[in-house]
């Protein structure tokens, strides 16, 4: 029986690294990607070690998510794992932040968790268990100027994790958060060089994380070795909280 892992935001950055690592671990990856970029999609499929499927879906659209869930339900195998990874930033100081910027970040980073997780959680309950990994952020843990929208959404992600972990425990559904620190992906490419240097100077390990360093933690949480951790928020941030 195929062990299906659903990964949102699968074709780039941290989602790509998680897809590749979980595929190496033996999962059948169902990737969810918003972009209709055939080249990127083909390269995603070719970079995985196992069978996989990629579905186009905007996670902010309940209708689009329902359509994808119907397609996942038709696949052979059972859904063991969901990784809620898709996310965006839309930074500005709060006094200048538009309602659109606030809503788009909350829709993508938080409301999408409701749309996708609820049907998959029901499937996991019927199957007798499963695992859910939510990707939050260091800035959801400590807040970040210029990111009131993002920090709110990412703090909400861990609230979601803690509450659902309590509900899911009796059904053998383990729910955890990973909170990456600053990670070397396209999300960081918009940051000014001098600000980026300041960020690195503040990280005890002196560098950004590589996406595969986040994926390795997801791999552990997804594995059979991890059977007694639920409701946790695992920081992978190069030591940002030391001292």
Catalytic sites, residue numbers = 150
| Selected range binding ligand NDP among 94-102, 180-188, 196-204, 216-224, rule: CB under 6 A | 180-188
Instruction: Dump strand ranges (E) for the chain.
Output: 3-8, 28-33, 52-56, 78-84, 130-135, 173-180, 233-236
Residue 156 found at the interface with ligand NDP (CB under 6 A): no
Q: How far, in whole angstroms, is CA 78 from its chain's centroid? A: 20
28 to 67: interface string for ligand NDP, x by CB under 6 A: -----xxx----------------------xxx-------
Q: Which of 5, 7, 9, 175 binds ligand NDP (CB under 6 A)?
A: 9
Q: Which stretch binds ligand NDP (CB under 6 A): 74-82, 179-187, 196-204, 219-227?
A: 179-187
Least spacing, CB of residue 94 vs ligand NDP, in Å: 19
Exposure string over 142-162, b if 16+ CB within 10 A, otherwise e: eebebbbbbbbbbbbbbebbe
What's 112-149 look like in SS3?
A: HHHHHHHHHHHHHHHHCCEEEEEECCHHHHHCCCCCHH
Query: In the complex with ligand NDP, which residue's Cβ is closer, 33 or 230?
Result: 33
CB count in 10 Å sphere of residue 97: 17
Summarize as ranges the residues that interact with ligand NDP (CB under 6 A): 8-9, 11-15, 33-35, 58-60, 85-88, 108, 135, 137, 180, 182-183, 185-188
């Amino acid at each position: 029986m195929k062990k299906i892992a659903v990964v949102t935001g699968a074709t780039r950055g941290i989602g790509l690294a998680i897809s590749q690592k979980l595929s190496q671990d033996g999962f059948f990856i169902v990737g969810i990607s918003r972009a209709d970029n055939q080249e990127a999609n083909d390269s995603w499929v070719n970079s995985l070690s196992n069978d996989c499927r990629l579905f186009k879906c905007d996670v902010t659209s309940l209708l689009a998510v329902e359509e994808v869930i119907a397609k996942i339900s038709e696949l052979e195998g059972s859904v063991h794992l969901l990784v809620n990874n898709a996310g965006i930033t839309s930074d500005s100081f709060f006094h200048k932040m538009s309602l659109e910027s606030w809503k788009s970040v909350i829709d993508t980073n938080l409301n999408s968790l409701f749309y996708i997780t609820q049907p998959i959680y029901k499937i996991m309950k019927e199957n007798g268990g499963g695992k859910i990994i939510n990707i939050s952020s260091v800035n959801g843990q400590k807040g970040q100027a210029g990111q009131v929208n993002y920090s709110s959404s990412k703090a909400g992600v861990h609230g979601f994790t803690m509450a659902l972990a309590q509900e899911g425990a009796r059904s053998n559904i383990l729910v955890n958060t990973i909170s990456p620190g600053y990670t070397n992906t396209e999300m960081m490419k918009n940051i000014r060089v001098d600000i980026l240097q300041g960020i690195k100077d503040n990280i005890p390990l002196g560098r950004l994380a590589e996406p595969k360093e986040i994926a390795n933690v997801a791999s552990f949480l997804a594995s059979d070795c991890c059977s007694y951790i639920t409701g946790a928020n695992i920081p992978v941030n190069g030591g940002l909280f030391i001292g």
